[in-house]
Amino acid sequence: MCSTAVLLVRTCVVLVCLAALARAPAKVHAAAGTGDGLLAIPTNASLSHCPSRCGDVQISYPFGIGPGCFRQGFELSCDRTTPSPRLFFVSGNSSIQVTSLYVRNSVVWVSAVGFNVTMSAGVDTYTKSWEAPTATGVCFYPDYNNLYTVGCGVYVYVFGDNMTDIIGSCTSICTDNREIMESANTGSGACEGLGCCSIPIRGGQGFTLKLGRLNSTIPQFGEALSNVKIIFSQNYDFVTDDVYASWVVNTSNVHAMLLNIAITDQPSCASAQSQENKDTYACSSESICYDYLPPSVSQRGYTCFCPGQIEGNPYIEDGCIAYYNPEAPNRNCMRLCGNISVPFPFGIQEGCYANDNLRLDCTSNDTLILDRGYAQYRVTNLSLDDGLLMVTNMLNDTSSNNVGRIIITSNNDKYQEVMDGNYDFSQEDVAIKWVISNITCQKAMQNNATYACVSDNSICKDVMRGNIRDGYRCKCSDGFQGNPYLHNNCTEFKNGFHSGATSP
């Protein structure tokens, strides 16, 4: 009699926010029994007591070790019993080793996961369960990981939300001649159905795997080949010897697994940002929220990014504020490219711009360029007063949906904004809006060392688009004219005459 085989795999579970939980003045903690996990946005100061490393791995919030150091569901532990300390997710029934954390890019590298299934005589299909950490805010990185099956005469099906949502399938067969097997697989390392097959795994919190034996037309290989190896990883370099071994002969052939950070206590940014849930919203005020999975997937979440090319941690208050040097630049700076003026805080040469986001390039034929890495824009005019870069076109053929940008949708879904650092590309090929930093005037004025509006008679202006805060810019007060980003440069404007200072 055959037994049914369903292998349940969970790589991310829903983190339940307790709506009735009151917010403490400094921080919100998880309910008793879930660890001392935070639910409010911490500051760098409040995390100063937290361990920052385990062995070679740097630890960044929302991950952390110890009370008050991690967001609910992101607890880690450091195993110091080995010569080189190892970092693990904390869970009730399993641990996965963490090898790298890149919070800014929302990426976590972990060791691959694998196990054996023994194909006993007389049983055609098998049931085996494996559970990943039960309280981690990580999910499979979409289309970067694969499920590998090493064995003979087996089939595999992978399902998503239910048994009708099929993700993929594969079949692995063998010949009864080992020399033929080795000859066919020499050098490629690919799992193409002879001794090994693979299925790409889409992003999500989990999937279901069904493993079974093919019918009797497949040659029988005896007890030595009754082991089937199941491997979850980004990549596995198959060698024929692994079919005949009790486990993978060379573990260096099994590469790490790539996971996404996902806040799963709410299904979407809109839900997390609502009045009801705002106290447990994970993204800092200057960061951008991004829906992790589309509405068609039943269990979803969101993740946070610092805008554009800004370095930082989007889960910490003030974690995304870009460096800005408001001091007057070198007087020898080039301020013209062709016939286009390039006033501070923009600049062309090193030391002539306030930060890297405000650097422009002037080509040998006097063309002014905004270079965003994935695309270059030809600039025809730059306005400090209006906060606009007038552009004609992108210089290379780059998609408007390039991964370097973040799409922000307003809560009423009436429009979309395309953001990259200090720039708004929603009117691309006509005008690109810019701001000094993606924070409010109130927050900017709290730090004199990086506050951009340094001229007397200048004011700070919050820049909004609908319900979405873009950032801030500076302007001279009414009746004054000049460059508000330079000391003493906003001068009185009387009877049609500008009284003085020029912009270097």
Cβ-in-10-Å burial (0-12, 13-18, 19+) of 224 comes to exposed
Mean pLDDT, residues 180-201? 83
**Pair 347, 213 in one domain:** no
Does residue 283 fall inside a structural domain?
Answer: no
Which tops the pLDDT comparison, 412 or 42?
42
For 161, the token pair is: 């939300």
Q: Is residue 287 part of a domain?
A: no
477 & 358 share domain:
yes
Domain end among 238, 254, 270: 254
Mean pLDDT of 460-474: 83
List C-alpha distances in Å: 504 to 186, 325, 489. Answer: 66, 15, 10
pLDDT score recorded for residue 87: 93
**The token pair that represents 342 in the structure block:** 């390039």
DSSP conformational letter for 194: B
Q: Which of 3-17, 62-76, 393-407, 468-482 has the lowest mean pLDDT?
A: 3-17
Higher local confidence (pLDDT), 207 or 212: 212
Q: Which of 302-306, 401-405, 412-416 has the lowest mean pLDDT?
A: 401-405
Q: Is the pLDDT of residue 23 over 50?
A: no
Residue 125 has pLDDT above 50, yes or no: yes
pLDDT at residue 14 in the model: 27
Asked whether residue 366 falls in the same domain as residue 465, the answer is yes
Q: Do 172 and 225 meet the contact criterion of CB atoms below 8 Å apart?
A: no
- Write down the pLDDT at residue 8: 35
The reported pLDDT for the residue numbered 457 is 95
Statement: residue 19 has pLDDT above 90? no
Report the chain's terminal Cα–Cα distance, integer Å. 86
- Provide the token pair at 199: 């299925």
- Checking if the pLDDT of 117 tops 70, the result is yes
Domain termination residue (choose one: 254, 280, 313): 254
Please report the pLDDT score of residue 36 as a whole number.
67
In a domain, 69, yes or no: no
Contact at 8 Å (CB) between 227 and 117?
yes
Residues 237 and 385 reside in one and the same domain: no
Domain that holds residue 208: 7-11+113-134+145-254
Q: Are residues 227 and 362 in the same domain?
A: no
Dump pLDDT digits (tens) for 212-226: 888 654 455 555 567
Evaluate if residue 401 carries a pLDDT over 60. no
Residue 99 C-alpha from the chain's centroid: 16
Residues 248 and 122 in one domain: yes
**Whether residue 2 has pLDDT greater than 50:** no
The pLDDT of residue 286 is: 79
Q: Do 235 and 375 share a domain, yes or no?
A: no
Look at residue 149 and tell me if it is in a domain. Answer: yes
Cα distance between residue 301 and residue 265, in whole Å: 7
Whole-angstrom distance, CA of residue 77 vs CA of residue 270 = 32
Percentage of the residues of the chain whose pLDDT score is greater than 70: 73
Mean pLDDT of the chain: 77
Do 247 and 395 lie in one domain? The reply is no
| 316 vs 264, more confident | 316
Distance between CA atoms of residues 286 and 307, nearest Å = 8
Looking at the structure, tell me whether residues 349 and 482 fall in a common domain.
Answer: yes
186 occurs within a structural domain: yes
Mean pLDDT score, 243-261: 86
What does the pLDDT read at residue 373? 67
Model confidence at 399, in pLDDT bands (50, 70, 90)? very low
In total, the chain counts a number of residues equal to 504
What count of other Cβ atoms lies within 10 Å of the Cβ of residue 71?
25
**In-domain check, residue 24:** no
**Contacts of residue 177, Cβ cutoff 8 Å, sequence gap at least 6:** none
Which of 233, 254, 275 represents a domain boundary (last residue)?
Answer: 254
Q: Is 448 inside any structural domain?
A: yes
Higher pLDDT, 426 or 205: 205
Residues 60-89, mean pLDDT to the nearest whole number: 92
Q: Of 277-281, 287-291, 389-393, which gets the smallest average pLDDT?
A: 389-393
Number of domains in the chain: 2
Query: What per-residue confidence (pLDDT) applies to 18?
Result: 24
- Sign (positive/negative) of CA torsion 241, 244, 250, 251? positive
More confident residue, 185 or 75: 75
In a domain, 503, yes or no: no
Percent of the chain clearing pLDDT 90 (strictly above): 32
Does 360 lie in the same domain as 238?
A: no
DSSP 430: T
If asked whether residues 230 and 360 sit together in one domain, one would say no
Among 185-189, 382-386, 427-431, the range scoring the smallest mean pLDDT is 427-431
Same-domain check for residues 345 and 467 = yes
Q: What is the pLDDT of residue 248?
A: 82
**pLDDT at residue 112 is higher than 60:** yes
Q: In the predicted model, is pLDDT for residue 421 greater than 70?
A: no
